[in-house]
Amino acid sequence: MCPHPDEFSEEILTVEMWVSGDFVITDVMNSEVCEATKPEVKCEECPLPMFFMRSIYFLMQTLFTIGYGDSVAPSKSHVELSMACVFMLFGVFGYGLTIANMTSVLANLDVVNMRFRREMDIIARWISFRSIPEKLKEQIRLHFLYLNRTQGGMLDYALFSSLPPKLTQDIASMQLDFLQAVPFFNPIYRSQTFLLDIANVLSRRIYSPGSQILYQNERQRELIVILEGRAEVYVHGNPKCVGCLTPGDFMGDYQLLFGTINQVGLRSLDCTVVLVLSFEALTNVLNHPNQNHFGFLSMGSHFRNSSDQGALDTIKMSREQMEAISRSASHAHESKTAKIHNMMEETDAVAKGYILYPDSKIHVYWDIFALLSTVYYLIVLPVRMASHFGKSSLQTSFNTSYLIDYVADCMFILDMVLRTWFYAYTSYESGRSEVVTDCQRIKQKYMSSKRFKLDLFASFPLDITSVIFGYHLLWRIPKTCRLLQIPRIVSDLQRHLDSSMEVTMTEVHVSSLLMLIYSILISVWSSAGWYSLRSGESAYKSIYWAFTTLTTVGYGDFVPETFAQTCYVFVVGSVGATFCAAIVANVTSFFHDVEISEDSIDHKVKTSKLFMERHNQHQSQVKNLQDYFDLVESNQGGFNDDIFLNQAVPEHLKANLLTYLTQSMVLNCDLFAGCESGFKRKLMLSLEQSFFVAESVITTASKYLDGMYFVKKGMVEIFSDAGGGSLKLERQVEVDEYFAEGCLVHHWGKQPFMARSSIDTELWFLSRSTFYILMDFFPKVQLVLCNIDNKSRQSARRSSMKTIQKSAENFRKMKSNYIHPDNYFIQFWIGLVLVVILYNIIVLPFRVAYMENHEITFTWLFMDYCGDAILAIDVFIRASTLAYYNNNRLVVERGKIWSHYLKSGKLKWHLISFVPIETITLAMPTLCPLWSLQFWSLLRINRTFRSVEMPYFFNWVETSLSKVGVKVPKNILRVGKLLMLILLTAHLVSCCFFMIANFDQHANANSPLNQRNWANEEGLIDSSPSCPGDPVDSSAYIRQYVASMYFAIATLTTVGYGDITAQEDSMTEIFFATVLLVIGTAIYTFVIALLEDIVSQLDVTSSLYKEKLNTVAKYMQIQGIPDSIKSKTVAYYENLWRTQKGIKGSKLFQYMPRSLSIEMKHDMISGLLNSTFFVKDSAPDIVTSLLNALTFEVYLPDDILFYEGEKCDTLYFIYSGEIGYFTSGNVRFQTVHNCPVGECSFFLFEPTLCTAKSVDTSESFQLKMEDFIACLARNRQLRPYIEYFEQNKDILLSAKSSTRKMLQNFSSTKMSKMLATEKHNPIPKGVILPSSPVREIWDAAALMFVVIFVIKIPIQISFSDTGVNRFEFLLDSALDLFFVVDVYARNMHFAVTKDGFLVTNPKEFRKIYMTKEFRLDALSIVPASIVGYCADVDRRTYGFLRLFELIRVLRFGK
């Protein structure tokens, strides 16, 4: 109930309540004030709606973190202050949840497009990093645009990999009609099963216009079937195509079946979709046991001598095709003339039809006009309505200012006419792009669209009725429905810029433009509404209020004063806060990935290092791994080309890109000079990428090679043994050169040289097994094998000559006096230039703004011109002497350095920054109110233009620190850069804000009443300034600077305390503050986006594990998996998390470079390999190949490796743990560890003799039979293995016989009974397991008591000087006693888990506790507080003595 107005002053104003501080309510309830100032309000009535709305208003500005400060909780009301704290906490979390939900909504609104955009950004970064040529870049762009239009930007393998096999087969069967048109696959000759097998191995490719599908004169062996689009057949030397393939046509079947070269080439005319049957896929089907009747392998993998009717029909059709192509080529000239004539006729027809094509530039200009006109509508109408509403006159009629509106109306009507009859469009029906110019189809398309209905409604002239009824503005409100067309107009503009002007407008640009437009519209609408409710207030103030509210800054200098204004602010504040959250969420979606990926470098480093350390790998290997990932991240942009291309692009584009990356190396190799082009292309696609940091050993006598290396980047030093343990430098292998080529044909028992990378080096590796496969595929190239030794020797002689030439070249380079970009001097120099740039940015604006009436001193002149000298020298260095890398080659010629400097675009900024504008002071020393030092500094402000290079300098400094071994975490660097940006922005803002106030103070020096600026109100500036005058002392300008920085930071961070604000009567300050609010919101948005991205990637490993575990749990729940299997699955993943952070071992080895992975496997199981059949006697390179094929797996207790009698297709190398051999009666008769398991059955190709089961948690490397056979085949070791097997099979048979005897001995009933009961290690008495309820309760209590300490001890120190009462001491002592018992329990009774294994032996877990945690726990139970209590110290000292106990906070995580 409201009090009576006469009693209001006594009952309300004398009580500390929030109502008493709200002037809107007090002005109404206090009759004395109300009658004088509120004549429109009935003062004797209780305004309950006002009370309610002001309460909601207070909650709104608190929950949305606006905080005007006009309605606040009083400082003496503890209840209301507590409630206000609760509301503020809810507001922070609620606003944070709003941002998070908006981010999630925007991310899931079009998750396919978001994923596509992310992938395209990654591809664009890689293309830029690798300097891909324009033609290939355009092919990639067109390919992915078509892919985005047709299947959401997802590659085929991503679309079909998750489908079940049956559904995949059903989809493949849809291609049978295309396949059966090929003569060899005629259903008359082939069974339905065979055709389905072929259909299942077909792959689908999409070729962008102008892409090469088949290469002439190359042995490609691929069948191409056109699904969509068109492809032209061409012959070298003939400028015109000799044929055209359309959907259903095919080519390449003859070359596929008979192994011949392509007589013609094939390339796409537009976006062409094809089905491809590769030679490998066909071989896999034909070599299947069900297809033995073909005899494909026995015929040499071709059908040249086959009597198969399908093959004969293929020969016949191929001859007909070649004859047709020959005839077409002979008539090329006549066809070309006819085609030109037809094109001219078509052009004339088009010209007569007045059709605007989709690639016309007119579309771009028209889209810009449409966008500007729409925004004009949406701005002008609310502004006019606000103006008339403020004058209480909405009944307006036509006036001349509406002429612009009607011109825009007429243009939109013209737009409808053009879209109905003249706007051609591109159709993608029937698998090809077609420009539709038929007027009827154009009309039908537009009039059936939603756009036509919206255009019709918005263009309907309702405002004509204002001639009769008036209210002209209200009749034009329907025009605002064009707001819904803004996204479509921007999308059209994006498409037309790309098609007509080749200007790429990315999704980031589109979203930024839309955010800008919507921000302007909401700001205008909000300020217009406020202006209409605040009669007599200027438009500038309304805009200022709108920005302070929408950006949630809320200074509180302009607040609602009436019930209507309060309601309006409630709506605007709610909408504005939500819109601000949407902007933050939208920007965040660009910064941070749609999904957490395993490609994170930090994730790979973390999991790999943990695995290596757990398996006791040498620290040098751990360092090599860290160096490898650092190199990939810093020098390679985070890309491993081989992995990236496999994941990001389809096979045919990957082939084009790999060809570009490797062609210079392969073509420069003398060994393959006489080989056919198809072989070279296959060779380029078969290379494997690897990286080596500076001073890394590539190969030694103990590191065996099984192939040759090509140098793509960096330099490799080749050393030979000079005797006596010393090495001799033989030669240096530079970019596009190669080494170890002799390893392709010889199995080196000992390396003849040592190779080491002298700098960070990128190598591409050709393995011997790959080389053998290629030679089998290209029989003619086998002649290279006969000459490769001779060529290798000739190459060595040429390399010695090259060494001499390089020496001469190096001498010439030394004389050219260049500076190497990796030189320590240049790294120091860049840091020095960065310091000078920061000096100019900070000092010059400060002197202009604050150092009033100061003179130019020698110190300032010396510092300024020293900085100028450094910057001038920097320009000279970068323009003439600083060498640079171009295509991995060091360029040192001064002419090229100068040209490179000009192309960099930095020259213009350097010239602008060097213009000596300050020489004006020679003629005009001052310009009051700027005295000499201020005016001098203002004229030198162009020196700050070098700040555009700061990102470049920061990256250079970061790289330099990394090279000298200083590893700064990248997240700290990102936060540091952002913090520096905020501080520099705040510094510049504070200088400008104070200058505005100072200028106003000087302008009104003779009339103090007109001095309306914030600095004067704060008393920071002299009320009677003079120029010249006394210099402002340092204490004064420090106070001014601090106050200005306080305002700047409070605004940029959107805190907006409101104690320092723009003076409401100063239009300049109001405008400046409005602009600053926009900048502050942008910075605030970027801060949140960056921090969200950092937090999301902070622990990718944990997030990936949780996501995987949740997916598995959901699957098991849906499938109704039994609880026993559920618990075992969960136990497996928990063990995997404890030991390997949830990543399988095989995946971890894939993270590592190939050389390091093989070296680590060799170190772990070299002893097992030396005792394994065949492997122990194999050449080192064969062992290396087998190591590369090994996979790593973890087995839990009672996991089965194999059952008795099943096919043994896996050989196990047990690295840790124990494996038990069991009889058919489940009797364990042998336990083994650290040995091969299944060796006899594996090499004898026989069923297993017994069952193998894991006794405890064990780790093993596994070799699959198919991998073993493939390894032998690749290295041409099948025949040697058979010979070895025949000579040594007695060893296997003997081991098999002994195992059988053991099984027979343990098959007796008595022995079975003795061993039937498994022996388990019992848990010692008194040991408490980590999973027991007692342990869980104990740990929960310990955590709760630690929290009590964290809260209580600071209170004891801060808020009391009295003594310690007995009850408090007894309570503290009881908690201390608990932790003393805790130390004893952890020492004697609490079992622990280490590396995934449960440790229950008291001696072992006591040792673990004493070495890891005991020191901190012992320090935390030091009884210092008991001594203090006995000494009768005060409560504060007692709290200080208890600070030791806060050490337990370090164990919060545990």
Res. 299: pLDDT tops 90: no
Res. 853: pLDDT tops 80: yes
**Alpha-carbon span 741 to 729, nearest angstrom:** 18
Alpha carbon separation from 647 to 272, 280, 654, 1011 (Å, rounded): 22, 21, 10, 67
Residue 922 has φ and ψ, to the nearest 5°, of -65, -35
End-to-end, the C-alpha distance of the chain in Å comes to: 55
Taking residues 945-973, report their average pLDDT: 76
**Alpha-carbon span 761 to 739, nearest angstrom:** 14
pLDDT category at 224 given cuts 50, 70, 90 is very high
What single DSSP character describes residue 235?
A: -
Is residue 1190 exposed (0-12), middle (13-18) or buried (19+ Cβ within 10 Å)? buried
What pLDDT is attached to residue 790? 56
**Alpha-carbon span 348 to 954, nearest angstrom:** 59
What single DSSP character describes residue 1320?
A: -
What pLDDT is attached to residue 891? 81
Tell me how crowded residue 1345 is: count the other CB atoms within 10 A of its CB: 18
Strand partners, 1363: 1434
Judge whether 249 and 211 are in contact, CB under 8 Å: no
Question: Tokens standing for 524?
Answer: 């205008």
What pLDDT is attached to residue 53? 59
What pLDDT is attached to residue 800? 46
What pLDDT is attached to residue 846? 93
pLDDT category at 1 given cuts 50, 70, 90 is very low
**Alpha-carbon span 772 to 706, nearest angstrom:** 12
Please give the share of the chain, as a percent, with pLDDT higher than 70: 77
**Alpha-carbon span 956 to 934, nearest angstrom:** 34
For the chain, the residue count is 1454
Could you give the 3-state DSSP secondary structure of residue 868?
helix
Alpha carbon separation from 1255 to 1133, 1231, 1235, 1311, 1447 (Å, rounded): 18, 8, 15, 20, 41
The larger pLDDT score, comparing residue 609 to residue 1096, is at 609
Q: At what angle do helices 824-850 and 1034-1052 cross, to 10 degrees?
A: 100
Is residue 1 exposed (0-12), middle (13-18) or buried (19+ Cβ within 10 Å)? exposed
pLDDT tens profile 268-289 = 888 888 999 988 888 888 877 7
pLDDT tens profile 67-83 = 555 555 454 455 555 66
pLDDT tens profile 593-609 = 545 566 677 778 778 88
Taking residues 362-386, report their average pLDDT: 85
pLDDT tens profile 189-222 = 888 888 888 888 888 888 888 888 998 888 888 9
Ordered DSSP codes for 535-570: TT--HHHHHHHHHHHHTT---SSS---SHHHHHHHH
Res. 346: pLDDT tops 60: no
Tell me how crowded residue 644 is: count the other CB atoms within 10 A of its CB: 20
Taking residues 16-34, report their average pLDDT: 50
> Shortest CA distance to 503 belongs to which of 657, 372, 649, 359?
359
**Alpha-carbon span 203 to 281, nearest angstrom:** 9
What pLDDT is attached to residue 1224? 76
Handedness of CA 1212, 1213, 1218, 1221 (dihedral sign): positive
Judge whether 435 and 357 are in contact, CB under 8 Å: yes
Most confident of 255-264, 802-811, 961-970: 255-264
**Alpha-carbon span 547 to 545, nearest angstrom:** 6
Question: Tokens standing for 1396?
Answer: 């995934």
**Alpha-carbon span 1327 to 1405, nearest angstrom:** 10
Res. 756: pLDDT tops 50: yes
**Alpha-carbon span 178 to 254, nearest angstrom:** 16
3-state secondary structure 451-502: HHHHHHHHHCCHHHHHHHHCCHHHHCHHHHHHHHHHHHHHHHHHHHHHHHCC
The larger pLDDT score, comparing residue 386 to residue 78, is at 386
**Alpha-carbon span 752 to 684, nearest angstrom:** 26
Question: Tokens standing for 101?
Answer: 């939900």
Range with the poorest average pLDDT among 374-388, 715-729, 736-750, 781-795 = 781-795
Token pair 């062409």: residue? 272
pLDDT tens profile 791-842 = 555 554 454 445 445 544 554 554 457 787 877 788 888 889 999 999 999 9
Residue 709 has φ and ψ, to the nearest 5°, of -115, 145
Q: How many helices (H) and strands (E) does the chain have?
A: 57, 30
Radius of gyration of the chain (CA): 40
Helix ranges (DSSP H) in 391-470:
403-421, 439-447, 450-459, 466-469
Mean pLDDT of all residues belonging to the chain: 77
Q: Look at phi and psi of residue 714 and say left if phi exceeds 0, alpha if psi is from -120 to 50, else beta.
A: left
Judge whether 295 and 307 are in contact, CB under 8 Å: no
Question: Tokens standing for 923?
Answer: 């003629």
pLDDT tens profile 504-525 = 676 667 877 888 888 888 888 8
Contacts of 1315 (CB under 8 A, 6+ apart): 1227, 1228, 1229, 1306
Res. 785: pLDDT tops 90: no
Judge whether 412 and 459 are in contact, CB under 8 Å: yes
Widest CA span in the chain: 120
Question: Tokens standing for 1087?
Answer: 């801060």
What pLDDT is attached to residue 44? 47
**Alpha-carbon span 578 to 556, nearest angstrom:** 20
**Alpha-carbon span 1435 to 1428, nearest angstrom:** 10
CA 1313 from centroid of its chain's CA atoms = 62
Could you give the 3-state DSSP secondary structure of residue 866?
helix
Strands 222-228 and 272-278: antiparallel
Please give the share of the chain, as a percent, with pLDDT higher than 90: 5
Could you give the 3-state DSSP secondary structure of residue 1436?
helix
Instruction: Please tell me the number of Cα atoms within 13 Å of 1181 on its side-chain side.
Output: 22
Res. 870: pLDDT tops 90: yes
- Residue type (1 letter), 78: H
**Alpha-carbon span 1195 to 1035, nearest angstrom:** 72
What pLDDT is attached to residue 14? 47
Judge whether 1435 and 1360 are in contact, CB under 8 Å: yes
